[in-house]
Amino acid sequence: MKIKSNINRRTFVKGIAAAGVLASTKVSLNASQVFKNTTKDNTLKGNEFHLTIDRTSVNFTGKPAFATTVNASLPAPTLYWKEGEEITLYVTNNLPYDSSLHWHGIILPPEMDGVPGISFEGIKPKETYKYTFTVRQHGTYWYHSHSGFQEQTGLYGAIVIEPKEKEPFEYDKDYIVMLSDWSDEKPENIFRKLKLSSDYYNFNQRTVGDFFEEVKEKGFLNAFKDRKMWNQMRMSDRDLSDVTGYTYTFLMNGYTPNSHFKALFNKGEKIRLRFINAAAMTYFDVRIPGLKMRVVAADGNHIKPVSVDEFRIGVAETYDVIVEPKENTAYSIFAQSIDRSGYAVGSLTTNIQTSAKIPKMDPPEPLTMKDMGMSTNMNKMNHKKTKMPDMMNRSKMKKSIPVTPLPIKWGFQTTMRAMNPQYRLNDPGVGLRNNKRRVLTYADLKNLYSTKEDRYPDREIILHLTGNMERYMWSINGIRYSESKPLIFHYGERLRITFINDTMMNHPMHLHGMWSDVETGDENHLVKKHTVTVQPGSKISYRVTVDAKGSWAYHCHLLYHMTGMFRKVTVV
């Protein structure tokens, strides 16, 4: 609810200059602009919070720029809540334009969800909005702006919710590892450049030399056919990320690779690391050379623990892992971007003065026929192949689920089309196949608690993720958001949603207000997630218990895709 602001503007922590990362370099401002210095590593605990949204001067690259922050902190302060408590947050907008905060993955009333145009009007300049709701979950989450491109400019922070009951694992220390992508460019300029030339930031394009190497490997005819196929789709097999390290500096908890985040440990301790991908556009591949990571939670929910060397974390996803360092040494927390144009890095170390050696990035790998939805060969994996159960085949499901037809529009806005999309839950994805490391896949994710008694779906809807990469147009079912009608969910129903990705890019799809129970291969342990990656040229299904009336957002969480790949959901 909106209230008249009677909260004095405050700075909870004054600006610092940490190794030149977030230096308090003052920049010339107009009289109407608000200036604050910035800091980070701020935490707030309790059940009542006072937050201010401000314009802030930062310097990540040696060039002064403006960020959008909460309480002059980038990332925004970490909020610590307790399961079962009522939380009240007073959010004051000190910007000269509208803003908002969305509590990502939090189950709450729609008017508290913080999405302008869907569930509320947004927070006007100089106004304060009162968010209040009861916390009905526990685990690792995050919050961010849902207004314009403010998320790209720094408006994001972590949420840690203490559970009512003891967790089924133990640890000695607990750290947040928040990954993000920063650009000194204004996000509006980034978007404009992508619209003018979708490969503007891609410096990994094919050369004549690459073609001749393919000829040596495949023969001229096969190499020519491959190039022709990609050209017909108006997309390059090197288009792994729309926005790259050419403009991005990748951050870990607000630290650049040069300034280096550090987390301290003592030999023999169990360390919990809460990974959050708060990037605008970047998928990260995360590993800690020399340590196995035991994944114990996904998107805030406990899973059956699985030990891995590496995992890919999509935009807006969270993973909790436990590591057990056996040596008094420094270990690198290494998060390389999916396109290998850069990385975020930190050190798990016994000495604040000691940093770990930074590993070399893996070489970028091109997309394949599989990523075009034109191959079903899943045999060449970097770990044991997982047999998907009959539930993944519609013709063999235990009973028929009626499909609700939805409008679909093929045309110039949908130049890409997966001809044979497959469930690829045991595929780690391009760049991670056959790398000789144990890589987490969705097939590894199993709910710690039984879902055997969960209702079977009443109906199914199928949504195509569509686009024209050349013109940088994104849509669902070939229809962009501005021309779409709301999706109608019926209160109380159990719904199956199937995504078919007709594009050659990963899309992290986020449904607000309700859990997505992903079909990862075990009917009795469907894993609960709030954000689900749909791989290129593939399909994936999950189930939703429609238990929240009102209007909700449903969208790709890649910021520059969101304007078109977005739907309003109305629960009636």
**CA-closest candidate to residue 54, choices 27, 33, 75:** 33
Across 77-97, average pLDDT: 98
Q: Exposed e or buried b for every residue in 443-478, given b needs 16+ CB within 10 A?
A: bbbbbeeebeeeeebeebbbbbbbbbbeebbbbbbb
Top-confidence residue, 417 or 49: 49
In 153-288, beta strands by DSSP E: 156-162, 173-183, 248-252, 261-264, 271-277, 284-287
- Supply φ then ψ for residue 101, to 5 degrees: -130, 130
Residues 6 or more apart whose Cβ sits within 8 Å of residue 455: 494, 545
| Structural tokens at position 255 | 């630290």
Q: pLDDT, tens digit, for every residue of 337-385?
A: 999 999 999 999 999 999 999 999 999 988 887 777 765 443 343 334 4
pLDDT band at 470; cut points 50, 70, 90 = confident
**CA-closest candidate to residue 415, choices 499, 370, 371, 472:** 472
DSSP string covering 132-189: EEE----EEEEEE--STTTTTTT-EEEEEEE-SS--SS--SEEEEEEEEEEESS-HHH
Fill in the amino acid letter for 39.
T
Q: Give SS3 for 506.
A: coil
Q: What is the CATH number of domain 370-571?
A: 2.60.40.420
Q: pLDDT, tens digit, for every residue of 235-262?
A: 566 678 999 999 999 999 999 999 999 9
399 vs 252, 458, 461, CA distance in Å?
A: 47, 10, 16
Q: Residue 225 above 90 pLDDT?
A: no
Residues 6 or more apart whose Cβ sits within 8 Å of residue 221: none
The rounded mean pLDDT for the chain is 87
Is the CB of residue 507 less than 8 Å from the CB of residue 467? no
What's the confidence (pLDDT) of residue 416? Answer: 82
Q: Give SS3 for 272.
A: strand
Region of poorest pLDDT, from 23-32, 71-80, 293-302, 351-360 = 23-32
Region of poorest pLDDT, from 224-228, 349-353, 501-505, 541-545 = 224-228
CA distance 233 to 553: 30
What's the confidence (pLDDT) of residue 5? Answer: 37
CA distance 68 to 60: 14
Q: Residue 513 above 80 pLDDT?
A: yes
Q: Residue 331 above 70 pLDDT?
A: yes
Chain centroid, CA 95 distance in Å = 26
**Phi/psi zone of residue 220: left (φ > 0), alpha (ψ -120 to 50 degrees), beta?**
alpha
Q: Exposed e or buried b for every residue in 168-180, given b needs 16+ CB within 10 A?
A: eeebeeebbbbbb
Q: Residue 418 above 90 pLDDT?
A: no
- Supply φ then ψ for residue 511, to 5 degrees: -100, 125
Across 271-293, average pLDDT: 98
Give the rounded percent of residues in the chain with a pLDDT score beyond 90.
Answer: 77
Burial class (CB in 10 A: 0-12, 13-18, 19+), 268: exposed
Q: What is the DSSP letter of 87?
A: E
Number of Cβ atoms within 10 Å of the Cβ of 84: 14
What's the confidence (pLDDT) of residue 229? Answer: 61
Shared fold status for 2-166 and 370-571: yes
CATH 3.40.50.10490 fits 2-166, yes or no: no
What's the confidence (pLDDT) of residue 75? Answer: 96
What's the confidence (pLDDT) of residue 37? Answer: 45
Q: Residue 156 above 80 pLDDT?
A: yes
CA distance 523 to 217: 42
What's the confidence (pLDDT) of residue 503? Answer: 93
| Structural tokens at position 155 | 């408006």
Is the CB of residue 312 less than 8 Å from the CB of residue 285? yes
pLDDT band at 213; cut points 50, 70, 90 = low
What's the confidence (pLDDT) of residue 239? Answer: 78
Q: pLDDT, tens digit, for every residue of 131-154?
A: 999 999 999 999 999 999 999 999
Top-confidence residue, 424 or 221: 424
Is the CB of residue 99 less than 8 Å from the CB of residue 147? yes
Where are the chain's structural domains? 2-166, 167-204+240-364, 370-571
Residues 6 or more apart whose Cβ sits within 8 Å of residue 407: 477, 479, 485
Fill in the amino acid letter for 548.
A
For the chain, the straight-line distance linking the first and the last C-alpha, in angstroms and rounded, comes to: 23
Q: pLDDT, tens digit, for every residue of 163-190?
A: 999 999 999 999 999 999 999 999 999 9
- Supply φ then ψ for residue 224, to 5 degrees: -65, -40
What's the confidence (pLDDT) of residue 381? Answer: 38
CA distance 262 to 279: 20
Q: pLDDT, tens digit, for every residue of 14-54?
A: 221 222 222 222 232 222 333 344 555 589 999 999 999 99
Block residue for tokens 């994944």 = 295
Give, for 229, the enclosing helix (H) or strand (E). Answer: helix 220-232
pLDDT band at 294; cut points 50, 70, 90 = very high
Q: Residue 12 above 80 pLDDT?
A: no
Give, for 3, the enclosing helix (H) or strand (E). Answer: strand 2-3
**Phi/psi zone of residue 395: left (φ > 0), alpha (ψ -120 to 50 degrees), beta?**
alpha
Is the CB of residue 173 less than 8 Å from the CB of residue 324? no
Q: What is the CATH number of domain 167-204+240-364?
A: 2.60.40.420
Q: pLDDT, tens digit, for every residue of 520-563?
A: 999 999 999 999 999 999 999 999 999 999 999 999 999 999 99
